Protein backbone atom coordinates (compact mmCIF):
# COMPACT_ATOMS: atom_id res chain seq x y z
CA UNK A 1 0.00 0.00 0.00
CA UNK A 2 1.24 3.47 -0.89
CA UNK A 3 2.32 5.56 2.11
CA UNK A 4 1.99 9.34 2.15
CA UNK A 5 3.41 11.68 4.80
CA UNK A 6 1.84 15.12 5.19
CA UNK A 7 1.60 18.08 7.55
CA UNK A 8 -1.51 20.00 8.59
CA UNK A 9 -2.14 23.28 10.37
CA UNK A 10 -4.68 23.68 13.14
CA UNK A 11 -4.87 27.40 12.51
CA UNK A 12 -6.34 29.70 15.13
CA UNK A 13 -7.54 33.27 14.79
CA UNK A 14 -8.58 34.37 18.26
CA UNK A 15 -10.98 31.58 19.39
CA UNK A 16 -11.78 30.23 15.91
CA UNK A 17 -10.18 27.43 13.91
CA UNK A 18 -9.79 27.38 10.12
CA UNK A 19 -11.57 24.52 8.34
CA UNK A 20 -11.21 24.13 4.56
CA UNK A 21 -13.25 22.00 2.17
CA UNK A 22 -11.62 19.77 -0.44
CA UNK A 23 -12.85 19.97 -4.04
CA UNK A 24 -14.65 17.08 -5.75
CA UNK A 25 -12.32 14.12 -6.13
CA UNK A 26 -12.51 10.73 -7.81
CA UNK A 27 -11.73 9.26 -4.37
CA UNK A 28 -15.22 9.52 -2.90
CA UNK A 29 -14.01 9.15 0.68
CA UNK A 30 -12.16 12.50 0.58
CA UNK A 31 -14.27 14.31 -2.03
CA UNK A 32 -15.73 17.57 -0.67
CA UNK A 33 -14.72 16.68 2.91
CA UNK A 34 -13.42 19.28 5.34
CA UNK A 35 -9.82 19.13 6.51
CA UNK A 36 -7.11 21.07 8.23
CA UNK A 37 -4.96 22.68 5.50
CA UNK A 38 -1.50 21.43 4.64
CA UNK A 39 0.15 18.97 2.29
CA UNK A 40 3.02 16.69 1.44
CA UNK A 41 6.52 17.05 2.81
CA UNK A 42 9.00 17.44 -0.08
CA UNK A 43 12.64 16.40 -0.25
CA UNK A 44 14.64 17.36 2.80
CA UNK A 45 12.10 19.86 4.20
CA UNK A 46 11.39 19.86 7.90
CA UNK A 47 7.75 19.39 8.83
CA UNK A 48 7.52 23.08 9.76
CA UNK A 49 9.07 24.19 6.44
CA UNK A 50 6.63 22.00 4.54
CA UNK A 51 3.69 23.42 6.48
CA UNK A 52 4.77 27.02 5.81
CA UNK A 53 5.21 26.29 2.08
CA UNK A 54 1.90 24.46 1.73
CA UNK A 55 -0.07 27.15 3.57
CA UNK A 56 1.44 29.85 1.35
CA UNK A 57 0.66 27.82 -1.80
CA UNK A 58 -2.88 26.83 -0.81
CA UNK A 59 -4.10 29.84 1.18
CA UNK A 60 -1.57 32.65 0.77
CA UNK A 61 -1.04 32.83 4.55
CA UNK A 62 2.05 32.63 6.74
CA UNK A 63 0.96 31.65 10.24
CA UNK A 64 3.11 31.41 13.32
CA UNK A 65 3.65 27.72 14.07
CA UNK A 66 3.25 27.43 17.85
CA UNK A 67 3.59 23.74 18.69
CA UNK A 68 3.25 20.16 17.55
CA UNK A 69 -0.31 18.87 18.15
CA UNK A 70 -0.89 15.26 17.01
CA UNK A 71 0.29 12.67 14.48
CA UNK A 72 -2.47 10.60 12.89
CA UNK A 73 -1.90 7.40 10.91
CA UNK A 74 -4.97 6.50 8.88
CA UNK A 75 -5.52 3.79 6.28
CA UNK A 76 -7.72 4.93 3.43
CA UNK A 77 -8.76 2.31 0.83
CA UNK A 78 -5.99 3.38 -1.60
CA UNK A 79 -3.16 4.62 0.65
CA UNK A 80 -1.88 5.00 4.20
CA UNK A 81 -1.65 8.58 5.43
CA UNK A 82 0.64 9.82 8.20
CA UNK A 83 -0.37 13.37 9.10
CA UNK A 84 1.59 15.55 11.52
CA UNK A 85 -0.50 18.46 12.80
CA UNK A 86 0.68 21.70 14.37
CA UNK A 87 -1.13 24.45 16.26
CA UNK A 88 -0.69 27.74 14.39
CA UNK A 89 -1.86 31.33 14.81
CA UNK A 90 -2.65 34.03 12.28
CA UNK A 91 -3.12 37.75 12.83
CA UNK A 92 -5.89 38.02 10.23
CA UNK A 93 -8.65 35.84 8.79
CA UNK A 94 -7.75 37.02 5.29
CA UNK A 95 -6.73 34.24 2.93
CA UNK A 96 -7.12 33.16 -0.68
CA UNK A 97 -8.39 29.67 -1.55
CA UNK A 98 -6.19 28.22 -4.31
CA UNK A 99 -7.13 24.54 -3.95
CA UNK A 100 -10.17 24.37 -1.68
CA UNK A 101 -13.80 25.17 -2.50
CA UNK A 102 -14.87 26.59 0.87
CA UNK A 103 -13.54 27.80 4.21
CA UNK A 104 -15.08 28.26 7.62
CA UNK A 105 -13.75 29.78 10.82
CA UNK A 106 -15.45 27.90 13.64
CA UNK A 107 -15.24 27.79 17.41
CA UNK A 108 -13.95 24.45 18.70
CA UNK A 109 -17.39 23.37 19.93
CA UNK A 110 -18.74 23.85 16.37
CA UNK A 111 -16.19 21.63 14.60
CA UNK A 112 -18.29 18.46 14.81
CA UNK A 113 -20.95 20.10 12.60
CA UNK A 114 -18.76 19.55 9.50
CA UNK A 115 -18.23 16.46 7.34
CA UNK A 116 -14.53 15.82 8.02
CA UNK A 117 -12.07 13.63 6.11
CA UNK A 118 -11.52 10.52 8.22
CA UNK A 119 -7.85 11.26 8.95
CA UNK A 120 -8.76 14.68 10.38
CA UNK A 121 -11.34 13.34 12.86
CA UNK A 122 -8.79 12.42 15.58
CA UNK A 123 -7.54 16.03 15.47
CA UNK A 124 -11.10 17.34 15.80
CA UNK A 125 -11.71 14.95 18.71
CA UNK A 126 -8.53 16.01 20.52
CA UNK A 127 -9.53 19.68 20.12
CA UNK A 128 -13.03 18.93 21.46
CA UNK A 129 -11.69 16.85 24.36
CA UNK A 130 -9.07 19.44 25.36
CA UNK A 131 -11.51 22.34 25.34
Give the single-character DSSP code of 43: T
Instruction: Kindly report the backbone phi and psi dihedral angles of residue 58, in degrees, each rounded to the nearest multiple of 5, phi listed first.
Output: -85, -35
Which pLDDT score, from 0 to 100, does residue 130 have?
81
Q: pLDDT tens for the chain, 131 residues: list them.
A: 999 999 999 999 999 999 999 999 998 999 999 999 999 999 999 999 999 999 999 999 999 999 999 999 999 999 999 999 999 999 999 999 999 999 999 999 999 999 999 999 999 999 999 85
Name, in order, each residue with C-beta under 8 angstroms of 8's C-beta and a sequence gap of 6 or more: 35, 36, 37, 38, 51, 83, 84, 85, 86, 120, 123
The domains found in the chain, sorted by start residue, are: 2-130 (3.90.79.10)
Which pLDDT score, from 0 to 100, does residue 68 have?
98
- Considering only CA atoms, which of 102, 126, 96, 130 is closest in space to residue 33? 102
- Tens of pLDDT along 51-89? 999 999 999 999 999 999 999 999 999 999 999 999 999
Tell how far CA 71 is from the center of its chain. 12
Amino acid sequence: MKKVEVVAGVIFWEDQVLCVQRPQNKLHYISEKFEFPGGKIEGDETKEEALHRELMEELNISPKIKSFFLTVVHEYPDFELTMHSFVCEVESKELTLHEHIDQKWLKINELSSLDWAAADIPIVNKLLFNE
